Amino acid sequence: MPMQSINPATGQIIQSFPIWQADQIDAALDQVESAQTGWAVLDFEQRARFMRNLAQVFRQNSETYALMITEEMGKLLKEARAEVEKCAIGCEHYAEHASSYLKDEIIASDASRSVVVYQPLGTILCIMPWNFPFWQLIRAAAPAMMAGNAVVLKHASNVPRCALALEQAFQQAGFPANTFRTFMISAEQAEQVVADRRIAAVTLTGSSAAGRKVAAIAGQHLKKCVLELGGSDPFIVLDDADIEWTAQQALIARLQNMGQSCIAAKRFILLETIADAFVERLQILINQLRSGDPKDDETTIAPMARTDLRSELHAQVERSQASGARLVTGGFPMDTQGAYYSPAILDHVQPGMPAFDEELFGPVAAIVRVKNAEEAIRLANRSHFGLGGSVWTRDPARGEALARQIHAGCTFVNGIVKSDPRLPFGGIKDSGFGRELAYHGIREFVNIKTVWIR
């Protein structure tokens, strides 16, 4: 069955693409392996020139790429534009900083001279999701390639146009042929590629189930992997928070990308004294949103990426209600063309309910009421996930003290959880392991080698 690009706002098929045969995969792996050896011997400034060119390609084609993202996975066009710009920023960051991040380190030892050097591993397989179809790839590929690795992309099957556009962007930027390739392959074929000797390591952003499968194959073949998986981020609102402003931030944190983000706020843990006021204000803000064409800048409710994902989300909402959660607003598939879902608030959510225990990958806010900050931290950490989290308070010192207690890869005080090329990004527990971005990310896929000289 071919890959299909389907517009989630209309349900119409945009284009279909054949899945590669085994001989195409084999030939492409040979080509990438050969290209990587030449790429690895270039110095940082030579690689940086190509990476800066890529940043220019993203900016020059921003509207084209943004429209493609919106048509293929449903993101609001204004959010898609921001995603493309973030790709350009990521490319420029690694073009500027890769040489310092991977600079030789002189270490005092019993040698006349001992040096730690950072050298590329080879070809890195990037298995990427559909929710940020450009940025997710760039935040993995930019550091990997600046380190001297080649990159193979296996993208989500519902964004094939974005996958091919990324390969064309690298070509337009002048990268040597086959240093970056998009493989049009199925999930089953990707498992075989992970095991292939020509792949040195793998990074995956996706579900916990997919992460376990990839990690098992990589482990069997003794290959490094980095996994950025699901999340159920807590959004803790203390009793001294500015309710009006925090509710506005909560709306963005929950509904950006229509809630289809691993680091979207999902469990809103509220102190009882301010819970009613917060829920009332959040409901007002949600009811002011307007569904429509995601290409229209006036639209604030975009479709979800696929109708099957909408059905899964709705089932979680219904099961949570059956377990005692109270639906405050929304929470139903909208009676319109496309994969639209009415943004919802589920109140009185408790452990044991799907809205607490599972990841709600869509526009549903789960409200959890607690007596004090200690209970808020306890429930924040009562999760299989550990990607991000935030604390909202007028007392930054108090917020930091609590943020340090949240079990997650990143915690924010009075700020929406986000990725930033300057800061490491990743999770713990079922949210995966390893780090992307900053110097931590570029050092994931290198050989950290000791050179000892007498």
CATH number at residue 106: 3.40.605.10
Task: State pLDDT tens for residues 45-95.
Answer: 999 999 999 999 999 999 999 999 999 999 999 999 999 999 999 999 999
Task: State pLDDT tens for residues 272-283.
Answer: 999 999 999 999
Note the pLDDT of residue 314.
Answer: 98
**Residue spans of alpha helices (H) in 288-306:** none
CB 249 within 8 A of CB 416: yes
Whether residue 154 sits in one domain with residue 252? no
Whether residue 243 sits in one domain with residue 165? no
Contacts of 103 (CB under 8 A, 6+ apart): none
At residue 189, φ and ψ (nearest 5 deg) are -65, -35
For residue 425, tell me if it sits in a domain: no
Whether residue 194 sits in one domain with residue 257? no
Whether residue 285 sits in one domain with residue 223? no
Query: How many separate domains does the chain show?
Result: 2
CATH number of the domain residue 349 falls in = 3.40.309.10
For residue 282, tell me if it sits in a domain: yes
Q: Has 92 been annotated as catalytic?
A: no
Whether residue 378 sits in one domain with residue 441? no
**Catalytic option among 228, 359, 436, 444:** 228
For residue 109, tell me if it sits in a domain: yes
**Mean pLDDT computed over 137-156:** 98
For residue 426, tell me if it sits in a domain: no
Place of tokens 């970056």: 180
Note the pLDDT of residue 195.
Answer: 98
**What percent of the chain has pLDDT above 90?**
100
Q: Has 228 been annotated as catalytic?
A: yes
Contacts of 417 (CB under 8 A, 6+ apart): 233, 253, 263, 265, 388, 389, 390, 410, 411
Whether residue 275 sits in one domain with residue 175? no
Least Cα distance to 345 among 408, 278, 440 occurs for 278
For residue 98, tell me if it sits in a domain: yes
Whether residue 36 sits in one domain with residue 75? yes
Least Cα distance to 214 among 245, 193, 198 occurs for 193
266 pLDDT band, cuts 50/70/90, is very high
Whether residue 266 sits in one domain with residue 218? no
Note the pLDDT of residue 1.
Answer: 82
Output the pTM of the full model. Answer: 0.97
**Catalytic option among 91, 126, 262, 410:** 262
Range of the domain at 280: 233-420
Whether residue 262 sits in one domain with residue 210? no
Whether residue 82 sits in one domain with residue 39? yes
Mean pLDDT of the chain: 98
Least Cα distance to 77 among 67, 65, 87 occurs for 67
Whether residue 237 sits in one domain with residue 223? no
